Structure 1
């Protein structure tokens, strides 16, 4: 294992210190680094809180700021944040409008956010993201996994909250966006969790994992390495068929790197996915390419398609200013 770390035990703490120092104009750390919150809080709006295991950066802490999250709770690598982290974050940022939890569909995340909602001394509601079409169940999730589509829910609902939407409206919007969003990933290599020191799984030189999860969970099947167009074709077919995307639909296309994939390859995959969607009559109205929901150092990518309407397109375009996403 070759990583830029001092010790396995302090990776997360030192990374959070670096994030807070590099983006001190946007974020600050809560007590004992239990959560990251906006430097300037607006307590007159619905507050958005998300979180999950670390190792997926910039998700979620990199999306704390104007137009997205108000706070994020980082667990240890690939480990859910604890209920006390979530409760402290919610109560630190809550106003009269309430707090919305945006939670990826993993057993640990759901359990701990549910416990936090019961304990927190503020009004809360929850949106679950489950955009992964690769498998119906996995070793980590209850049903479909929440993956890169979570970013889209956080961005669109975050914009609505900034514009004054109430808690019920934010929940309904989040559920609608999630229902119109699908993702699928492919891994060319495993990731290496620092505490383990060895790859999570092993792939042969001529193999790839189709439908991999963001923690290295198994996908649909292990297959022989293929050209980019063939990989994109399988992923887009699975996504578009599940989404029932009709000709004339407008969509946001997100090609997301898993941490070990060069940008030149991500744009190549975007081009392949774009051509295939347009061949189905789906118009790409918005795009995002980059490494946003990663799996440490895994080589590979995911493709996400989210169907847009006039409202959600406008909310996607609404200004955002975070460490990792801004326009």
Structure 2
């Protein structure tokens, strides 16, 4: 696989330097690495996220007005370290606490939890909300429970707008949890991807094969089958999402009254006829937008058959896996609050409207 890199070990650092030069309105910090809104946050809850590089524009591309206040990039497909999250949190703390939005991968969850503990030692109230919207699986070798996929983008947009609107930390945490249980995603791959540090494909696929139920870290999916048409692929993903049951699991969250981490039971919604949804048709990296429109046409048809109305949509590159060819679909049930906050102005490198 040919890549536009210099030294494989310096990929993230060099990309951050380029990102900072391209977007001078965003502050890029090094050692430890994080990006943050210029001037910090004043008198509102800060919203912070992060994860391994290789998923761009997630998360750095969503730093800015109406979305994230800071993002911490790890090495390719590797969780950022607690000191990155700690320093980013201190930099954007506006005196009202911090909401950390975390994809459900073990390293991310553990490191963000350690960072939250460090920030609390500084007297800063921090809440962690884990996004686990991948309907492809319950458990895998790469995560405890369902993985975090495209609902992360909607959570960052909605919660960023709510922070701008003045939600306090309790209310913002509850909103983020609601978005999580309202969102479901599933992805597929036509090709694997290759990390710069490894130099070999993450898994093998024959020319006539595709992988269903992939994650965003180059891991293989849950099922391999002969390649099908765009309509057939879309129907597989959309039907699985729309007909997914009320998945129940335990997530660990901070209990302010007990002053400790506790396990709580969480249960997803199920999609019902009459629901309105926000849809994402996302390229895994190499799939062009022209092909995504073909997927969206079939998705709209399948949703209509289920009585579900798509009222907002994003079609393009939002949460990728390097140069993997493939697509993921996300549907988030949207009530009046979620829609209002989704429609609120946003101005980031990757998302911009209403300004």
TM interval, short-chain normalised? over 0.9
What is the deviation of 1:33? 5.3
Aligned position for 1:95: 94
Aligned position for 2:270: 244
1:92-113 CA-to-partner distances (Å, cap 9, x unmatched) read 1102110110000000000100
3-state DSSP of counterpart to 1:276:
helix
1:154 paired residue among 147, 153, 156: 156
Aligned pairs (5 A) from 1:74-223: 74-120=73-119, 121=122, 122-223=124-225
**In structure 1, how many angstroms separate the alpha carbons of the residues matched to 2:30 and 2:15?**
16
**In structure 2, how many angstroms separate the alpha carbons of the residues matched to 1:179 and 1:324?**
25
1:208-238 CA-to-partner distances (Å, cap 9, x unmatched) read 0001111122322001100011111111111
1:284 paired residue among 292, 304, 310: 310
- Asked whether the equivalents of residues 59 and 293 of structure 1 are also in contact (C-alpha less than 8 Å), the reply is yes
Aligned position for 1:226: 228
**In structure 2, how many angstroms separate the alpha carbons of the residues matched to 1:114 and 1:12?**
23
TM-score by length of 1: 0.98
2:348 paired residue among 317, 322, 325: 322
Aligned position for 2:8: 8
**In structure 1, how many angstroms separate the alpha carbons of the residues matched to 2:201 and 2:39?**
40
- Asked whether the equivalents of residues 16 and 33 of structure 1 are also in contact (C-alpha less than 8 Å), the reply is no
1:311 paired residue among 305, 323, 337: 337
Aligned residues: 326
Aligned position for 1:38: 37
What is the deviation of 1:279? 1.3
**In structure 2, how many angstroms separate the alpha carbons of the residues matched to 1:219 and 1:6?**
31
- Asked whether the equivalents of residues 276 and 308 of structure 2 are also in contact (C-alpha less than 8 Å), the reply is yes
**In structure 2, how many angstroms separate the alpha carbons of the residues matched to 1:80 and 1:41?**
24
1:259-309 CA-to-partner distances (Å, cap 9, x unmatched) read 110110011111111111011111111010011100000000100000001
Aligned position for 1:256: 282
What is the deviation of 1:247? 1.2
**In structure 2, how many angstroms separate the alpha carbons of the residues matched to 1:320 and 1:86?**
23
- Asked whether the equivalents of residues 139 and 217 of structure 1 are also in contact (C-alpha less than 8 Å), the reply is no
- Asked whether the equivalents of residues 32 and 84 of structure 2 are also in contact (C-alpha less than 8 Å), the reply is no
3-state DSSP of counterpart to 1:66:
coil
Q: Which runs of 4+ in 1 moved over 4 A?
A: none
What is the deviation of 1:314? 0.8
- Asked whether the equivalents of residues 67 and 161 of structure 2 are also in contact (C-alpha less than 8 Å), the reply is yes
Aligned position for 1:70: 69
3-state DSSP of counterpart to 2:352:
coil
**In structure 2, how many angstroms separate the alpha carbons of the residues matched to 1:236 and 1:50?**
27
Q: 1:324 to 1:186 in 2, by over 3 A?
A: same
3-state DSSP of counterpart to 2:61:
helix
3-state DSSP of counterpart to 2:243:
helix
**In structure 1, how many angstroms separate the alpha carbons of the residues matched to 2:64 and 2:223?**
38
Q: Which runs of 5+ in 2 are unaligned?
A: 245-268
What is the deviation of 1:157? 0.8
3-state DSSP of counterpart to 2:91:
helix
**In structure 2, how many angstroms separate the alpha carbons of the residues matched to 1:308 and 1:88?**
34
Aligned position for 1:19: 19
